[in-house]
């Protein structure tokens, strides 16, 4: 599929006034791109099976090294965003779910709609403008201060804004999810039983409702990972964050096929691993789930 759009890595060079068609053909020949697509694919799969992901046409080094350089920053960003989404989303969702105040519930709904409607490229730009350009509370981008010693606070300082922006989408979504879940279980038998034993509504929901609502959230978390990675692409560009998403975007533009495929392999592996963790978590969170 990555070969479907017209053009290839050698054609990017053709923008140069002195690059002749013969030179472009020579580049394709050297890179093996003059071969039929199925031959290229078999060659790539064969090498992949031997642990060779190919070499980047742009960076002239192994694609696996190019991709590996970007995994750390992306893990840091998506992990922090996930944390923000979970802590704030679940917390506010529980608050809205157990509260009988219509003001709180309406506020939560408004925040949820805003959070899910505002695209991250816009919210990121606004955050940069207000908190970096005007107020100077956050840095102008990047993962750390250039030239400074590695420093936890500096790292967190750079991480905070992109993580909040990327996580804000999930705050809204999961907050709404938890709120709706708590409202739906409020009249279930086990909650009523708990109340009959003397717990008030809030305590009954917190102690018995929340665990039952959170269980399906684990599934949602696993399913959301691909969207989180794609959202990270936009956030990484806005905040000059050197992650996998930005790498994928740049590699697609340059038709750097080995790196494109490498990033897709990593993303695919991440989804598989998270789904495995999700399945395992079921067994931990719900004693009724057992694996043969």
Residues near other proteins, by CB under 8 A: 5-21, 23-24, 26-27, 30-31, 55-61, 66, 69-70, 73, 124-125, 128-129, 132-133, 136, 140-143, 145-149, 151-154, 237-243, 246-247, 250, 253-255
Smaller CB distance to other proteins: residue 175 or 266? 266
Backbone angles phi, psi at 177, to 5 degrees: -65, -45
Minimum distance from residue 58 beta carbon to other proteins (Å) = 4
Decide whether 62 or 91 has the Cβ nearer to other proteins: 62
- Distance, CA of 171 to CA of 81 (rounded, Å): 9
Which residue is it, tokens 């533009």? 253
Give the bridge partners for 123, in sequence order.
none
The nearest distance, CB 150 to other proteins, in angstroms, is 10
Residue 9, both tokens: 């890595």
C-alpha–C-alpha distance, residues 262 and 242, integer Å: 16
Residues 159 and 77 sit within 8 Å (Cβ to Cβ) = yes
Residues in CB range of 167: below 8 A, 6 or more apart: 80, 81, 82, 83, 84, 85, 88
**Residue with Cβ nearer other proteins (204 or 233):** 233
CB of 115 to other proteins, least distance (A): 20
d(CA 264, CA 66): 13
Q: How far is the CB of 262 from other proteins (least distance, A)?
A: 13
Cα separation, 46 vs 215, in Å, equals 41
Helix (H, G, I), strand (E, B) or coil at 5: coil
Contact call for residues 33 and 8 (beta carbons, < 8 A): yes
**Beta carbon nearer to other proteins, 32 or 216:** 32
Closest approach, Cβ 64 to other proteins, in A, equals 13
Residue number with CB closer to other proteins (6 or 197): 6
Instruction: State which residue, 18 or 102, has the beta carbon closest to other proteins.
Output: 18
Q: Which residue has the tokens 């704030």?
A: 88
What is the nearest approach in angstroms of other proteins to the Cβ of residue 224? 24
């Amino acid at each position: 599929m990555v070969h479907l759009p017209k053009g290839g890595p050698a054609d990017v060079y053709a923008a140069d006034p002195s690059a002749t068609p013969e030179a472009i053909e020579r580049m394709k020949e050297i890179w093996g791109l003059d071969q039929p697509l199925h031959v290229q694919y078999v060659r790539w799969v064969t090498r992949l099976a031997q642990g060779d992901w190919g070499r980047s046409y742009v960076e002239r080094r192994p694609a696996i090294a190019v991709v590996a350089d970007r995994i750390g920053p992306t893990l840091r960003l998506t992990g922090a965003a996930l944390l923000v989404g979970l802590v704030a989303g679940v917390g506010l969702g529980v608050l809205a779910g157990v509260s009988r105040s219509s003001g709180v519930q309406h506020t939560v709904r408004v925040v949820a709609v805003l959070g899910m409607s505002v695209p991250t490229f816009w919210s990121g730009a606004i955050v940069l403008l207000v908190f970096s350009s005007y107020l100077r509370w956050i840095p102008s981008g990047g993962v750390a201060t250039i030239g400074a010693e590695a420093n936890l606070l500096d790292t967190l300082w750079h991480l905070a804004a992109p993580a909040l922006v990327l996580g804000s989408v999930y705050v809204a979504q999961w907050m709404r999810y938890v709120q709706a879940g708590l409202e739906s279980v409020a009249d279930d038998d086990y909650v009523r039983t708990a109340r009959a034993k003397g717990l008030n509504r809030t305590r009954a929901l917190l102690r018995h409702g929340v665990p039952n609502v959170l269980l399906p959230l684990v599934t949602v978390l696993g399913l959301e990972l691909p969207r989180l990675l794609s959202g990270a692409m936009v956030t990484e560009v806005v905040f000059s964050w050197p992650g996998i998403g930005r790498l994928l975007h740049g590699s697609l533009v340059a038709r750097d096929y080995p790196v494109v495929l490498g990033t897709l392999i990593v993303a695919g592996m991440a989804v598989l691993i998270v789904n495995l963790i999700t399945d395992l978590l079921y067994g931990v969170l719900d004693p009724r789930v057992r694996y043969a």
